Amino acid sequence: MNCKGRLFSMDTPLVMGILNITGNSFYDGGKYLNESDFLPQIEKMLEEGADIIDIGCMATNPNVEELTEKEELKIVENALNQIIKRFPNTVFSIDTWRASAAELAVKMGAAIVNDVSGGDFDAEMFAAVAKLQVPYIAMHTSDKPHRMQQHTDYEDVVGEIFLHLSKKVEKLHLLGVNDVIVDCGFGFGKTVEQNYELLRHLQVFKTLNCPVLVGISRKSMLCKLLNCSPAEALNATTAANALALLNGADILRVHDVKEAKEAVKIVHGGK
């Protein structure tokens, strides 16, 4: 994976640390709104071994109102001004479904675009990523966050999401996007049972010949099964991440970097 000239090998899975600069994310909303909070958190994740830091400026929580484009762009610009200045050699991804936010973030120094909609929410996204020539994470979701859990009626959840992502990969390659990462979208328009079906069959997505990203950190698929809160779900997250690694995950997107790095080391025999 080529991140603005910096090459990443996938021989050993990577860990992507989550930084939500939002007031309403499901787990850490409101913790990192200000520079005095988010800069130390980035430093902590890097010290713990994060390979990539994923910056989200708009929550995808189904219970919150969507930011306007102007609002999102303002947060992206203000945050990245401080972040890139402080950590110029760190690889950052921008978590957005808007082409305009992706373009602004990459212009300011971000090296990866992480799109929860896989190009479905903004028709300009694929063209923008092709122009920017940065790695692109295509995630599957069934609809916008406030409607996605109304659309979980798959006949074959693994087969249908595989077909969906395969079409995205093909389209992106035709546009000249070389580095495409796929994400099944755990928790986005899936029931608890469907999430575990995807996790058990993660190896299927390796046949797309793209790195596979898994984001299950502290999500409801863990909390509902164990009857716990996101704050209590660290152990469950580590167990699920280990299963994802055993089933072929190349990138873990997590709130807790240290524990994820330990899981990678154990699963991959100390590498």
Query: Which tokens sit at 29?
Result: 């909303």
258 is annotated as an active-site residue = no
CATH number of the structural domain spanning residue 27: 3.20.20.20
Residue 73 belongs to a domain: yes
Domain contains 7: no
Mean pLDDT taken over the chain: 91
Q: What is the pLDDT of residue 15?
A: 98
Task: Confirm whether 193 is domain-assigned.
Answer: yes
Q: How far is CA 235 from CA 53, 241, 248, 263, in A?
A: 22, 10, 20, 11
In a domain, 158, yes or no: yes
5 pLDDT tier (thresholds 50, 70, 90) = confident
Q: Which of 253, 261, 265, 271 is catalytic?
A: 253
Q: Region 191-204: what's the mean pLDDT?
A: 97
Q: Give the range of the structural domain holding residue 127, as residue numbers without chain letter.
A: 13-267
110-128: per-residue pLDDT in tens? 999 999 999 999 999 999 9
In this predicted structure, what is the pLDDT of residue 28?
A: 58
The pLDDT of residue 156 is 96
Query: How many structural domains does the chain have?
Result: 1
Question: Is residue 3 one of the residues assigned to a domain?
Answer: no
Phi, psi of 229 (to 5 degrees): -90, 165
In this prediction, residue 30 has a pLDDT band, given cuts at 50, 70 and 90, of: low
Q: Which residues pair with 93 in a beta bridge?
A: 54, 112
| Span between the terminal Cα atoms of the chain, in Å | 19
The residue behind tokens 């120094």 is: 109
Give the closest residue to 34 by CA, choosing from 45, 21, 18.
21
Answer whether residue 87 shows pLDDT above 80.
yes
The DSSP bridge partners found for residue 254 are 17
In a domain, 221, yes or no: yes
Mean pLDDT of 91-105: 96
Residue among 219, 261, 265, 271 flagged as catalytic: 219
Average pLDDT over residues 78-95: 94
Residue 27 binned pLDDT confidence (cut-offs 50, 70, 90)? low
Q: In this predicted structure, what is the pLDDT of residue 86?
A: 94
Write down the pTM of the prediction: 0.94
The answer to whether residue 147 is catalytic is no
> Residue 139: what pLDDT?
97
Q: 50 vs 151, which has greater pLDDT? A: 50
